[in-house]
Amino acid sequence: MDAISVIRTKRDRGELTPEQIDWVIDAYTRGEVADEQMSALAMAILLNGMNRTEIARWTAAMIASGERMNFDALSRPTTDKHSTGGVGDKITLPLAPLVAACGAAVPQLSGRGLGHTGGTLDKLESIPGWRAHLSNAEMRHVLDTTGAVICAAGDGLAPADKKLYALRDVTGTVEAIPLIASSIMSKKIAEGTGALVLDVKVGSGAFMKTIEDARELASTMVALGTDSGVRTVALLTDMSTPLGLTAGNALEVRESVEVLAGGGPQDVIDLTLALAREMLDAAGLKDADPEKALADGSAMDVWRRMISAQGGDPDATLPTAREQHVVTAPASGVLTRLDAYDVGVAAWRLGAGRARKEDPVQAGAGVELHAKPGDTVTEGQPLMTLHTDTPEMFDYALKALPESYDIAPAGTSFSPLPVVRERIA
């Protein structure tokens, strides 16, 4: 077996054999296949695709590159959620403790933000003392004692994916649907959860810009999960507008706590409850009532225990940025569009995100929204506030925003897209 023959097969639109896939993933993980060779193969996959058999074998090979976790000893059924990423997507923060409060165990392995999309671990690290990196034993202990854990994946989980994702990020092949699907599902299947709900974002602020691409990705991942014995369902959810009223790390934690306290933006509440119901149903807990658990404070109780168990102080004051800049409405009327991608880019430029994985982030940086599509605004009214510790970045962030919103004359009718657009199972 050699890398050139594998590359040529996919370059010429051929189907990779199971033996070719097993060999190339193992050889790349060991360093026998060079980065430039795997780059060529990834580009061939982006351009020519893979069929279901190839994707399933590719996923299995990445799982086999590392360890597999097992939670069979837990007294609760396990269920997990994965989001493909967006702007203001803080849903994991209220969702994990909410589902745990309803009787499930939630082993949530999360990641960091890159570019315009936010990362769950970056958000939680704005809480003083909170630790993202846990050993397997620590993860199981937190899960067993609180019902939910949110942490970074260990180095032993699908190491082939970690190496390949870093390569895809710098070679323009992140968008390849077979590679996205296998990347996500290899980690989730290796994680050992019994059920999985996928939140596949669609819209300007998502990696999948069209409903057709989102549907293809969701269907591919549902098939991979099902074939591996994991009960899997996907919701296609809107990411044309930022979720909630904040995009930024500490800003989103603050908003998540508001949701757990019985308040918060309606779209965040609606999506949290929709995903909670799917997770509980997949775990066999159909009679659980997540709306009640949100209202009676039991989800907040789990949140506090979960944060404390990972070294965080749930009562600590969250960081705030040193500088603010207010963007005002240039006219009166109805806000009919607020582009998620543009807001995400502005938050990233303010310091809430990173251009490279090793870059630091500012805990207090980001964008706070004062209006959402459908709201009536008045000329001079604040539309959004920009937060940063580096005020010299305001001009750079503002360059992302001039075309980010539309204001129509007063009385204009507006019909927002539903938060959940489709369900695939």
Which residue out of 10, 57, 187, 277 is catalytically annotated? 187
CB 420 within 8 A of CB 271: yes
How far is Cα 70 from Cα 193, in angstroms, rounded to an integer? Answer: 8
DSSP string, 306-342: HHHHTT--TTSPPP--SEEEEEE-SS-EEEEEE-HHH
How far is Cα 40 from Cα 44, in angstroms, rounded to an integer? Answer: 6
Query: Does the annotation mark 168 as catalytic?
Result: yes
What pairing do the DSSP bridges indicate for beta strands 231-238 and 420-424?
antiparallel
Which residue out of 182, 183, 186, 240 is catalytically annotated? 183
Residue 358 pLDDT class (50, 70, 90 cuts) = confident
How far is Cα 287 from Cα 161, in angstroms, rounded to an integer? Answer: 37
Main-chain dihedrals φ then ψ at residue 224, nearest 5 degrees: -60, -45
- Whether residue 154 has pLDDT greater than 90: no
Question: Edge-to-edge, what's the strand order for the sheet holding 405-408?
Answer: 376-377, 333-338, 405-408
pLDDT digits (tens, 9 = 90+) for 303-326: 999 999 999 999 999 999 999 999
Which residue out of 112, 123, 168, 188 is catalytically annotated? 168
pLDDT at 307: 98
CA angle 58, 62, 66 (to 5 degrees): 160
Nearest to 87 by CA among 204, 262, 216, 217: 204
Query: Does the annotation mark 238 as catalytic?
Result: no
Burial of 364 per CB tally in 10 Å (0-12, 13-18, 19+):
buried
pLDDT digits (tens, 9 = 90+) for 165-180: 889 978 889 889 999 9
Query: Does the annotation mark 187 as catalytic?
Result: yes
Q: Model pTM?
A: 0.93
pLDDT at 78: 96
Which residue out of 80, 89, 161, 342 is catalytically annotated? 161
SS3 state at 71:
coil
- Whether residue 391 has pLDDT greater than 80: yes
Nearest to 187 by CA among 218, 221, 143, 217: 221
pLDDT digits (tens, 9 = 90+) for 224-266: 999 999 999 999 999 999 999 999 999 999 999 999 999 999 9
The domains of the chain, with CATH numbers, are: 3-49 (1.20.970.10), 80-154+186-309 (3.40.1030.10), 323-408 (3.90.1170.30)
DSSP string, 117-153: B--HHHHHTTSTT------HHHHHHHHHHHSEEEEEP
The neighbouring-strand residues paired with 248 are 366
Mean pLDDT of the chain: 95
Which residue out of 10, 57, 81, 82 is catalytically annotated? 82
pLDDT digits (tens, 9 = 90+) for 19-76: 999 999 999 999 999 999 999 999 999 999 999 999 999 999 999 999 999 898 899 9
Nearest to 169 by CA among 42, 47, 50: 42
Residues of the chain with pLDDT > 70, as a percent, come to: 100
What pairing do the DSSP bridges indicate for beta strands 148-152 and 106-110?
parallel
CB 338 within 8 A of CB 408: no
Query: Does the annotation mark 161 as catalytic?
Result: yes
How far is Cα 341 from Cα 140, in angstroms, rounded to an integer? Answer: 36
Q: Is 21 left (phi over 0), alpha (psi -120 to 50) or beta?
A: alpha
How far is Cα 182 from Cα 172, in angstroms, rounded to an integer? Answer: 17
